[in-house]
Structure 1
Amino acid sequence: MTLTMKLDDIKPYVRYAKILRMGADYSSVNMRAYDNRLLYFFSGNARLEIDGTVYNPERGQCFLWTPDSVYSLSADGDGFTVLVVNYDYTFAARNVSLCLPPAPAGMFDESKRPEKICFSDFNEFNAPLFIKDMHNNEYDFHCLENEFISPQRNYAAMLSAIMQKILLVCARQAGTRASAGSSCLVLSVIEYIHENYANDLSNAAIGQQFNYHPNYINRCMLASTGQSLHQYVVNARVLKALELLQTTDLSVTEISRAVGFKSIKHFSQSFKRCYNYSPTHFR
């Protein structure tokens, strides 16, 4: 059964994490992994094919894919050095603790798959993902391997925390790449929201202000911030309200109106969702 989840909810279970030196004769053709894979290339020359797309990995490049993908990996020249990570996105199958070797694609047994995940808010993790430059995260990759080969107390939680950071960095890189063409628009919209929180900031009004369809702006905001346009507006208003609660003598009702909420009820509900307390708690 497929589990639908959001990116913020990942709690990776790392089943294997080692830096390997593959010799010139290494070759693995048309395989499927039972858990998710992350490969980070440190040096050497290789040929990697994932679902028909061929790559010649270089140092700093990172690849992720799910058990749905068919892949081949072989040395090109004298071999290569690569970090291999086998992982799940949850701890649900932590009882399957031993490394699961991949299977030839034609012999893959779906029943042995520990989990099947579909991300509802980050489609990039539902398909093979190529990150061009992860040089700055090599320290984290070494920490991951060190924790795996020299486990200490709470090592599974530590592996999970390191892997979560790596995956979120990958997600940010992928999100930045996907939204590069819209980044200027998003920055302008964000600036406009913070300067006009007391005014009409409906999706339609913002679309009219920037001469774009509101659905397009909403997609750009989701890609860049992880929040819908409406969510971002509400959070900006609540943040300003918190500032006013702490720095002015305005009543809660006055602050609600000042930051653009049309009803005190909506303001109180939105505030509590963000801070787990009612506005009066900060008085």
Structure 2
Amino acid sequence: MKYAIWLPLFDELSDPSQIARLAAATEEAGWDGFFLWDQLWWRPPVREVSDPWITMSAMATATERLRIGPMVSPIARRRPTKLLRETTTLDRLSGGRLILGVGLGSDRFAQEYSKTGEEVDDRVRAERMDETLEILTSGWTGEPVRHHGKHFVVDDVRFLPRPVAGRVPVWLAGFPGNAKPVRRAARYDGFFPVNLTSPEQVEAPAAMLRELRGDLDNFDIAVALEPDVDPRPYADAGATWCLIDVDPATLRLADVQALIAAGPPK
């Protein structure tokens, strides 16, 4: 199993320079990845929030080995061609270390969609996300993109340069018990079941993914766990990555620094 730090860019952790220093320390301490929330704002008492994409650029230049990425980005609110350029550029800046975590997101956490006029219908956002993923994966090939969908149009445009490895790995997020995100994830590179309460919630999607794909070779299943939770039962259930989760309401820089310095679970 691989281990990563997973942080929201809130309050004491909203300084991109500080996050870049934390990323360098994370790499030095032997962790495998450092992933960021993608939020525009959050509920009180959180007041200060930073952009993960700009911050990841700083992280990329401060590290050499660490995998980085948004975990997860609600890409249905993004313009696909702009996201295509951003992901490729960030992947090349990092030397091919970007992992793109995506999901539908939800208005219920911070009303990010309703308060900005974004689409709140999950079905419509799912359509937009699927089209965006089609445009991304097509554009990363370097071949002309010809997409005429319900929500987006890209009319015979080639996007160069390509990502370092030819494409960026994509992990799909979803809540336990929901089969649709699992089926969607099977077409890509990873699955991130969120809000887990037991290792058994990993076993069912892992079995479904194995059936859909034939095997789980070159496929990741990531779980987010609090620092005091034993990751081994989740690894036994099929998880390949463990993202150490922190509570944004009580998040403190000193606690994160201590967590990083302690190194990944043994």
TM-score, normalised on structure 2?
0.25
- Report which of the two has the higher share of helix: 1
Q: Which has the larger radius of gyration?
A: 1
